[in-house]
Structure 1
Amino acid sequence: MTAQNRELLDKVLVAHGGLERWNSFNTVRATLVTGGSLWGAKGLTQDSAPRQMTVWLHEQKASVTPFGGPDKHTAYSPNRIAIETTDGTVIAERQAPRESFRDHDENTPWDPLHRAYFNGYALWSYLTMPFLFTLPGVVTEEIEPWQEAAQRWRRLRVHFPEYIATHSAVQDFYFGEDFLLRRHDYTVDVSGGMPAAQYVSDYIEADGLRMPGKRRAYRRAEDGQANKDALLVAIDLSELGYS
């Protein structure tokens, strides 16, 4: 990593609360409301009911409740996805869940375990950014800035190692003058490599850390512009708390 790359990453980490504070916590909990066209394209029904998301900060674990019923929740890790009851009974599970997306395209239907896995890895990623950029094997490089209307955003290109389950191996992150995240580009590998541009806003400060409260993912065109008429996923987060 060059000094320039490290300079941007260091400022980004500080703007989000600092690595030392981050390392003092183990989990984050948040209220989650989701929407967008992706779910219908996958043959799923989406509602606006709030759910509780729990993410482990230093290991790839996450859970959302309720999921498919008031007494059910998900148990996510990269190597296993499960739907369980509150007493620990396993309703359904899948080992090596990423393999179940092989040969999927944008319109391939998802079953509940597909959805649970997608929710698990995506929210784990979102709720650990940008601190997950410091994990072993993650490589960051600063690339040319991006002009968005009147704003000029600096960008980090992040290369993720295979052991980190996320949207795609290479992703781009855009930061404003305050070094807070503004946009996040990736391809949705589990949905045929669909290109997406996700805009983030409405930062929440909780326990000295800062995370976006709103995320809106749109289809990304070849020129890098987002198609604001094609909302794929909407995520609203609130009531964040670290422990």
Structure 2
Amino acid sequence: MADLRDLVLDAHGAGRWKRFRSIEGDMSIVGGLWARKGWPDALKSVRVTADIADQQLSYQPFTAEGLRSFYRPDEVAIDAFDGKRIKQRSNPRQAFAGHTPATPWDDLHLAYFSGYAMWNYLNTPFIFALPGFASEEIEPWVEGHETWRRLKITFPESVATHSPEQVFYVNGSSLIARLDYFANVVGGIPTAHYTSDYREFDGIKIPTKRRAYRRNADGTPIQDGIVVAIDISNIRLS
């Protein structure tokens, strides 16, 4: 049987991905998580710009017109469009110590979580081929009338992400249909995150619809409320 990681990389366009240095998208990001943290509509209509080689990303507007966020694993900030720095925080992940799912966020918490999460999403699955990542195919999963192969990915400590181990579900087209993780910075919420409505941009296949749900102990999603809903209207690669 062909190596699942390589099948996934090829199906999403890994050969072309190497020529790009940045990715930009127009998005709507809503859901129960943002409301619970005190920011229900903060990311409802945003432009996201992410660096591909480095873990760097920004949202604009961010919390107010004329402002944008800046994210790196070791620093987050909020800047004015003219470049003036409004506020910043070093070692931002430490600011989540002791948080539970009910703990409210300030704007820099929001900048960190939304920054690392979206950088991961936009760069998946291509980050699987980077040094320090480990992959292992595990037992398949039956979802409705389909059987999905599953890939367990172990992330290196250098990459900010939800949890060090995540499981990616691969459909018959070798595209990622779901990922499971524990959202550690929000109290370790077990999450089933579905991806769909793939579109091709410059030869790269990207899901334009994401829906995340809390996950039962048996792996099934709890579908009585959407934790995160992401809709992407356009992607530009350069």
One-letter code aligned to 1:27: S
Secondary structure of residue in 2 paired with 1:229: coil
Secondary structure of residue in 1 paired with 2:20: coil
- What is the aligned partner in structure 2 of residue 122 from structure 1? 117
What TM-score does the superposition give when structure 1 sets the normalisation length?
A: 0.95
Misfit runs of 4+, over 3 Å: none
- What is the aligned partner in structure 2 of residue 97 from structure 1? 92
Checking the alignment, whether the CA contact within 8 Å between 2:43 and 2:63 is kept in structure 1 is: no
- What is the aligned partner in structure 1 of residue 158 from structure 2? 163
- What is the aligned partner in structure 1 of residue 209 from structure 2? 214
CA distance in 1, matches of 2:199, 2:21: 18
- What is the aligned partner in structure 1 of residue 11 from structure 2? 15
* Pair 1:48–1:78, CA change in 2 (3 A): closer
- What is the aligned partner in structure 2 of residue 233 from structure 1? 228
Identity of aligned residues (%): 45
Consecutive unaligned residues of structure 1, counting only runs of 5 or more, are: none
One-letter code aligned to 1:69: A
- Give the CA deviation at 1:241: 0.9
Aligned equivalent of 1:43, options 34, 38, 48:
38
- Give the CA deviation at 1:49: 3.9
One-letter code aligned to 1:14: D
- What is the aligned partner in structure 2 of residue 52 from structure 1? 47
CA distance in 2, matches of 1:10, 1:140: 10
2:93 matches 1:106: no
Secondary structure of residue in 1 paired with 2:163: coil
Secondary structure of residue in 1 paired with 2:194: strand
What TM-score does the superposition give when structure 2 sets the normalisation length?
A: 0.97
Number of aligned residues: 238
Taking only aligned residues, the RMSD between alpha carbons, in angstroms, comes to: 1.2
CA distance in 2, matches of 1:74, 1:137: 28
Consecutive unaligned residues of structure 2, counting only runs of 5 or more, are: none
1:17-43 deviations in Å (ceiling 9; x for gaps)? 12x311100001000101111112112
CA distance in 2, matches of 1:48, 1:210: 23
- Give the CA deviation at 1:69: 2.1
* Pair 1:126–1:26, CA change in 2 (3 A): same
CA distance in 2, matches of 1:172, 1:166: 13
- What is the aligned partner in structure 1 of residue 67 from structure 2? 72
CA distance in 2, matches of 1:209, 1:57: 13
1:72-111 deviations in Å (ceiling 9; x for gaps)? 1111000000000112111110000000001101001100
Aligned equivalent of 1:137, options 125, 132, 135:
132
CA distance in 2, matches of 1:143, 1:230: 28
- Give the CA deviation at 1:58: 1.1
CA distance in 2, matches of 1:43, 1:211: 29
